[in-house]
Amino acid sequence: MLLQIDHLTKVYPRGVRANDDLSLQVGEGEVLGLLGHNGAGKTTLLNQVAGLVQPTQGTIRLDGRDPVADPAYARRACSLQLQAQAPLTGVTPRQAIEILGRIRGGSRQRVRERTEQLLAALDIEEWANTPGEKLSGGIRRLTAFCMAVVEPGRLVMLDEPTNDVDPVRRRLMWQQVRKLATDGCAVIIVTHNVTEAERSVDRIVVLDHGHVAATGTPAELRRQASSDLRLELTLTPGVVSPEPPSWAGLANVTDQRMVISIASADAPQAIAWAQQLHATEAIAQFVLNPISLEDIYVGLTNTSEEDHDAVAA
Ligand SMILES: Nc1ncnc2c1ncn2[C@@H]1O[C@H](COP(=O)(O)OP(=O)(O)OP(=O)(O)O)[C@@H](O)[C@H]1O
């Protein structure tokens, strides 16, 4: 494994336990999606791997070496796109990307070629010579991505790189992420976009309150779900919402919607039940869909939210 993390714990000075006995691995050529609520400990994890934050306990091995004891090696081996926007005042995207490539040791020729290739691949050539202070948030974010990957280390870590980016260019960025892995890098990508992650990563780690709540390929995480369909009812305004049937799983009811998770074996009776409600106008409409990875993610983190609250109580 290129990156091996064992029992990593980080407690900040005021007692915040940002990472709690966390273990994970990432191999060469692998894209790992790191999911988790705000404050789950994702950025803290990346900062420790990059040698920027000292762990309280546990070990990190990057290609067998310790990035904490050898931060100069960590800087060479890791490329990190920070969650905060890159400071681009006074420089154009082309200049910023080329400067980073040169700082990371790329030859002038190679950095120039790679910069042009990235600008074209992300379809941002139009802004290549625009001063940083005149760029939109999305183009700034894409520029920061290029800065991180122009001369990539063996491990590339991207902290919410698709924030502010339009859907078309997000896809172009994911293609570049995959290309990094194909070229032999290991990639860790922090994202809140579960649907995108499901399409594009090899493996997912869900962090919750600093520890690993679930890990696996998107397909493996799907198989862990107790139900595989979701029935969504649009309630008729002013009508009392129906009682969820006994065979239904977890129900989530808001003013206008009821969402019920069900096993596929119960699909016929779920449809019959919903049709009957529709015929009596108790509901305006219904939709039966396969459960999404986002539903599974919400279930995983909700459950442990409740556990956490119980422990805290
Ligand atoms: N330098 C610090 N000093 C003290 N507490 C910190 C520090 N940095 C982060 N924390 C706390 O550690 C916890 C984990 O924060 P972290 O930024 O790692 O989470 P995250 O999963 O990246 O969140 P987000 O999705 O919002 O970026 C939070 O409770 C945060 O307030």
CATH code assigned at 246: 3.30.70
What interface predicted TM-score (ipTM) does this complex get? 0.97
- Give the helix ranges, DSSP H, for the chain: 42-49, 71-77, 93-103, 108-121, 137-149, 167-182, 194-200, 218-224, 267-279, 293-312
Query: Quick check: is 301 in a domain?
Result: no
Considering the domain architecture, whether residues 213 and 274 belong to the same structural domain is answered as no
Contacts of 149 (CB under 8 A, 6+ apart): 79, 81, 118, 156, 176, 180
- Collapsing DSSP states into helix, strand and coil, what is residue 51? coil
Taking the alpha carbons of 271, 273, 277, 279 in that order, is the dihedral positive or negative? positive
Mean per-residue pLDDT for 223-228?
74
Is 128:93 a contact under the CB 8 Å cutoff? yes
| pLDDT at residue number 240 | 82
Taking the centre of ligand 1 as the mean of its atom positions, its distance from the CA of residue 41, in whole angstroms, is 6
Considering the domain architecture, whether residues 122 and 252 belong to the same structural domain is answered as no
Considering the domain architecture, whether residues 286 and 191 belong to the same structural domain is answered as no
- pLDDT over 70, % of the chain: 95
| pLDDT at residue number 78 | 95
Considering the domain architecture, whether residues 132 and 235 belong to the same structural domain is answered as no
CATH number at residue 134: 3.40.50.300
Query: Quick check: is 105 in a domain?
Result: yes
pLDDT digits (tens, 9 = 90+) for 83-109: 988 889 999 999 999 999 999 999 999
Q: Which atom of ligand 1 is nearest to the CA of 210?
A: 14
* pLDDT over 70 (residue 303): no
Considering the domain architecture, whether residues 196 and 258 belong to the same structural domain is answered as no
Number of domains in the chain: 2
Atom 25 in ligand 1: which residue has the minimum CA distance?
38
Domain range for 201: 3-222
* Residue with the larger pLDDT of the pair 199 and 19: 19
* pLDDT over 80 (residue 313): no
| pLDDT at residue number 312 | 47
CB atoms within 10 A of CB 72: 9
Distance, in Å, from the CA atom of 216 to the CA atom of 203, rounded to the nearest integer, reads: 5
Pocket test for ligand 1, best of 9, 10, 12, 45 (most atoms within 8 A of CB): 12
Considering the domain architecture, whether residues 65 and 152 belong to the same structural domain is answered as yes
| pLDDT at residue number 85 | 87
Considering the domain architecture, whether residues 9 and 119 belong to the same structural domain is answered as yes
* Ligand 1 pocket check for 40: Cβ under 6 Å: yes
**What is 121-157 written as a DSSP string?**
HTT-GGGTTS-GGGS-HHHHHHHHHHHHHSS--SEEE
Note if the pTM is more than 0.80.
Answer: yes
Distance, in Å, from the CA atom of 99 to the CA atom of 108, rounded to the nearest integer, reads: 10
* pLDDT over 60 (residue 306): no
